[in-house]
Homo-oligomer: A and B are copies of this chain.
Amino acid sequence: MNALTGRAVGFIGLGLMGQGMTRNLLRAGARLLVNDLDPATVDALVAEGAIGRETPAAIAGESGTVILMVTDTRAAESVLLGQGGVLEGLRPDALVIDMGTTAATATRRFAERVRAAGGDYVDAPVSGGMVGARDGTLSIMAGGAEAALDRARPVLDVLGSRLTHVGPVGAGQVAKAANQIIVGLTIGAVAEGLTLARRAGVDPARVREAVMGGFADSRVLELHGKRMIENDFEPGAHCTVQQKDLSQALELARELDQELPATRLCLELYDRLIAEGHGKLDHAALIKVLDKG
């Protein structure tokens, strides 16, 4: 009996990512219980075959696997440990999979609480954005015991096209922090390179083409570089999400007494961009802070 074909799958958090992911689980034949703070998103999923429940505790009471996909560490803590939270209803032997981007330190604490209640815990944050969520092509970075991960695999295989077991509980979240640092700073790199070209009177599209295929080549140059050139900042991933993730990565670095100067600068640039009212644009919009109008 695995996580997909056995008892119901509970899914908490139906934001932009969660909506795509739950639809893939329904398509794969899961008996799916859903919960979100916003009743309208629950109703939309119920109309497509999911079963709505009022609280995370109610979800947990009927599910063999409970997936969390909520906004941030505080939301995850509330959904897990708060009143009406998952732990209040958790069945013995249940598997909790946190697919959101949660602080690594908090993750280890959550896992202990779930294990103390008889459950298994896997942190499995993702990269790939709304398109990856919709198409089931997310990259998944997993932390947890081998046996727990084996239980999670059938569900994760529906949601992603690439799953890496990084290490014990928390390791998935550490990898995600590294991922967000690399993505955010690479966006900054491409933004400065293309801005210099434009200001020097050279077509940034030709420059992007010229440097692709060399050492400057990256998914960010390909995708976010294109957005910058076309001035198309329809998200994708919001600047505010990148801000939250960089901020969380820096908090982990601070706990470890590790300086990350470029990450700190990149966060400051996102702070500035968001203060100028651009928070809901795609994170490629970072190039706007370089504009002198």
Nearest CB on B from A181, distance (A): 4
Identify which of residues 85-140 in chain A touch chain B, using a CB-to-CB cut-off of 8 Å.
104, 127-129, 139
Q: When the two chains form the complex, which single residue of B104, B128, B220, B269 contacts A200, counting CB atoms closer than 8 Å? A: B104
Return chain B residues, CB-CB under 8 Å to A185: 185-186, 188-189, 192, 262
Distance between Cα atoms of A262 and B175 in the complex (Å): 23
Q: A174-B196, A189-B189 are in contact. Are A216 and B262 (CB under 8 A)?
A: no
Return chain B residues, CB-CB under 8 Å to A179: 193, 210-211, 214-216
Distance between Cα atoms of A176 and B231 in the complex (Å): 23
Copies, count = 2
Q: When the two chains form the complex, which single residue of B175, B200, B210 contacts A164, counting CB atoms closer than 8 Å? A: B210
Q: What 1/0 flags go to A216-260 for Cβ under 8 Å of B? A: 111111010000000000000000000000000100110011111
Nearest CB on B from A266, distance (A): 7
Could you show 27 A-B contacts with beta carbons less than 8 Å apart? A128-B215, A162-B213, A164-B206, A171-B206, A174-B202, A175-B197, A175-B207, A177-B200, A178-B216, A179-B210, A179-B216, A182-B192, A182-B193, A182-B211, A184-B189, A185-B262, A186-B186, A186-B189, A186-B216, A196-B256, A196-B260, A199-B256, A215-B223, A217-B218, A218-B218, A257-B292, A261-B269
